[in-house]
Amino acid sequence: MASSEGRTILVTGGTGLVGHGIKYAVEDAKLGKETDTWVYICSKDADLTNYGDTRKLFEKHRPTHVIHLAARVGGLFQNMKYPVEFFTENCRMNENVLQCCKEFEVEKCVSCLSTCIFPDDTTYPINEGMLHNGKPHCSNFGYAYAKRMIDVLNRAYRQEYGCKFTSVIPTNIFGPHDNYNIENGHVMPGLMHKLYNCKKNNTDFVIWGSGKPLRQFTYSRDMGRLFVWALENYDDSEPIILSVGENEEMSIAEVAHTIAKAMNFKGNIKHDLSKSDGQFKKTADNSKLMKLNPDFKFTPFEEAVKESCEWFEANYESARK
């Protein structure tokens, strides 16, 4: 319950990409309230797949609000290789966190979904009402179904217990403190790391796949500001898409060339067509967000990429990879 001294906001998965984006929004962009206490926890603090560990975490911090980011995540090839683990581990985490939110009378919980969990066979752009309208793409079905269950649980807890649980759906996020593992990470940090190695070794920059798939990329520091906004202002149980607009969608090849420019790469850029492209597009409609938060301004893409590349190069030795 809330104390007279202010709120305690627990951020699970708080030391990752989005967690650092939220921390930036709270501390550097000054969006946090001085009376609030923000607690950013990682897997070393508690095993959220274990109910006992999760309960001890809630007993220790007694949060009034929760932002639930923790998840088992990975790139295309990891999702295809380990669908069982992606499903079971994420389901356990989500069930334990929301159960503890209910038991400890947390005032509000905002969980994180993803546009990659929407139906594969759909019309575009996708919107919040289309989440359960069909099967997700076969490349990440384990992760996708587990994430969809957060929406089911949010609605169930609200219907049965009146809990103020909601969720947000970001598009592809990038920025400082990402996971730059080439094999297991997401496309943007993987390309940055590849290019770093190419510059170091004076080799060609090889992009996996054709480079034709389209994505909307959102800067992690913008996403952090949007999470804080959602915590303060968005109370509906239906998810809300947090993303740049449809007009900001670009191909993987365009992204690679933008990274190459930001890192001053002068070598050859090639494609490995033996690698899978994955889902061709998943264009998301952000009109609901912009209707509710019309004054929000996203960081220009090239500026965000340049800042992200500079951070990676400056922090290469300590960056996750």
Distance of alpha carbon 83 from alpha carbon 66, whole angstroms: 27
* Cα separation values, 62 from 66, 154, 165, 185, Å: 10, 20, 17, 33
The per-type count for the chain, helices as H runs and strands as E runs, is 10, 12
Q: Which of 24, 143, 180, 196 is catalytic?
A: 143
Which runs of consecutive H residues, i.e. helices, occur in 24-138? 51-61, 76-81, 83-103
Q: Do residues 218 and 242 make contact, with C-beta atoms less than 8 angstroms apart?
A: yes
- The conformational region for residue 175 under phi > 0 = left, psi -120 to 50 = alpha, else beta, is left
Q: pLDDT truncated to tens, each residue of the chain (321 aa)?
A: 444 468 999 999 999 999 999 999 999 888 888 899 999 999 999 999 999 999 999 999 999 999 999 999 877 788 899 999 999 999 999 999 999 999 999 999 999 999 889 998 899 999 999 999 999 999 899 999 999 999 999 999 999 999 999 999 999 999 999 999 887 778 899 999 999 999 999 999 999 899 999 999 999 999 999 999 999 999 999 999 999 999 999 999 999 999 999 999 999 999 999 988 877 888 999 999 999 999 999 999 999 999 999 999 999 999 988
DSSP 99-125: HHHHHTT-SEEEEE--GGGSBSS--SS
Does 51 qualify as catalytic in the annotation?
A: no
Token pair listed for 150: 């957060």
